[in-house]
Amino acid sequence: MAAVVAPLAGAARMAVSRQGRIWGLVAAEAANRGGQVSASDACAAAVAAVQVTGGWLSAASGAEPAGHLMSVTDAVSERLAELQLMLGEGPCPDAVGYGDLVLASDLGELEADRRWPVFVPAARRAGAAAMFAFPLRIGAIQTGVMGLYRDRAGPLSDVQLGDALIFADTAALLLISADEAGETAAGSGPGGQPADLAGHRAEIDQATGMLTEQLGVGITEAFIRLRAYAYAHDRALADLARDIVARRLRLGPDPGPSEDGWRDGTPHR
């Protein structure tokens, strides 16, 4: 019995030490930016520790697998997150939908093209060669997804994968804690997301609500139309939403030449 207990105790100590190390990296990230520890810090710390190129956090649930962007480390990460939101396909929507991690170590492989036929070519053009998605879930509570990407193909090592899973758990705990406490750090949005990303989410929600009235459709259909238009016209969702909210752009009730809201080079209402 003693021979069995000793290795188990040693493994437990190693797990605690690993979690402590990762928490220290997250806390150091928060200290460097001069704020309270947040889920955004867990994402930023994961990028450096797991040795990937960039990462992001998106709010998502099983009912809405393509959620709003909460945190981003670079421009390519932002583009990858938005592509998945617009298209409704990719590693992150799958991770949320299935409730399990999705590892795509080479987006150039035929399997990736078959699985995400629209997303993969766009992701490669954006600069991603590999992507890894981790659902942010504690028990039955699912808060979102952490996405990581590399600009070169290649799998995560066992150590990197283990660390990424702990970073994802840490981000989930911080998101849940922030929501329960109603905390918002100074100059940031809920869950530690940058204020501008929180503003983008508000504009997208407002534009979607306006489209339900303009198009006479439900909220889900309105959001689908918004995403489809943004992708078809190669526009960022936030920029498109801003034009709709400001009434510079109006989508017609039926798809057609005038649906984009423009005639003779000028917007109409």
Dist. CA 26–CA 149, nearest whole Å = 19
pLDDT digits (tens, 9 = 90+) for 158-170: 999 999 999 999 9
19-26 contacts at long range (C-beta below 8 A, 24 or more positions apart): 19/166, 22/49, 22/163, 22/166, 22/167, 22/170, 23/170, 25/49, 26/167, 26/170
14-192 CATH pick, 3.50.50.60, 1.10.8.100, 3.30.450.40, 3.90.550.10: 3.30.450.40
Count Cα neighbours of 254 within 13 Å in the Cβ-side half-sphere. Answer: 1
Dist. CA 103–CA 50, nearest whole Å = 14
Q: In the block, which residue shows the tokens 């109603």?
A: 182
Q: Which of 75, 73, 71 is nearest to 54 (CA)?
A: 73
Count Cα neighbours of 57 within 13 Å in the Cβ-side half-sphere. Answer: 34
Domain ranges within the chain, ordered by starting residue: 14-192, 195-267
Whether 14-192 shares its CATH topology with 195-267 is answered no
pLDDT digits (tens, 9 = 90+) for 175-210: 887 655 555 443 355 444 555 555 566 677 777 788
Q: Domain 195-267: which CATH class? A: mainly alpha
pTM assigned to the model = 0.74
pLDDT digits (tens, 9 = 90+) for 225-261: 877 788 788 787 777 878 888 888 888 765 543 444 4
The phi, psi pair for 19, rounded to 5°, reads: -65, -40
pLDDT, residue 16, reads 67
The pLDDT of residue 268 is above 80: no
